[in-house]
Amino acid sequence: MVQLAKRFKSRFTLHEIEHSARTTVAAITSLLAAGTLGFPEPYWASITAIIVTQSTLGAAWSISVQRFFGTALGAAMGAFLSTYFGASLSAYGGGVFVLGLFCLLLGLERSGYRYAGITLAVIMLIQRSKPVWIVALHRFIEVSVGIVIGLILTALWPERDAAINPGPIAAR
């Protein structure tokens, strides 16, 4: 128990508290923005903002470009396959494979392919009452809202170098 308390204390730094606060602001802001814009599943914006704010601005920017294009590709592929082939296992599996090839051809890295595949799965595997093209467009916009807000917050409230604020709060 003493060992656990020491480990907790050593990780409880201002740097980590600030990181948690920044992530929370991004999550709430993106959730409110997507909800205010009237999207049916604004939690996708919040989830994406949480992911984006885990990086420094330079890293977040380059990987967010990958996520943006991957999401667009996955949404388009999901809508296309669902419209013309239904939500069958073979259409889904073929879609995941073809997405990998498209990502290679377009120069997208694995993070872009990851977002393409996740978006494809969300579009194809979850049954909804709205037309699939509307669902795909909503998903793309919701994720894009999360990316944009995560990037803005990362730019306005950059992650400080942990070396500047080392050590636990109790030591200060």
Q: Do 112 and 66 form a contact (C-beta atoms < 8 A)?
A: yes
pLDDT score, position 165: 46
Query: Which two structure tokens, joined as six digits, stand for 84?
Result: 């013309």
CB neighbourhood size of 125 (10 A): 12
pLDDT band at 104, cuts 50/70/90?
Answer: very high
Q: Is 0.85 topped by the overall pTM? A: no
pLDDT for 105-152, tens place per residue? 999 999 999 999 999 999 999 988 999 999 999 999 999 999 999 999
pLDDT score, position 109: 94
Helix (H, G, I), strand (E, B) or coil at 20: helix
The pLDDT > 90 percentage for the chain reads 70
Put residue 126 in one of left, alpha, beta given phi > 0 → left and psi -120 to 50 → alpha.
beta
pLDDT for 82-102, tens place per residue? 999 998 999 999 999 999 999
Distance CA 172, CA 160 (A): 18
The pLDDT > 70 percentage for the chain reads 88
Tell me the H-state helices in 37-56.
43-52
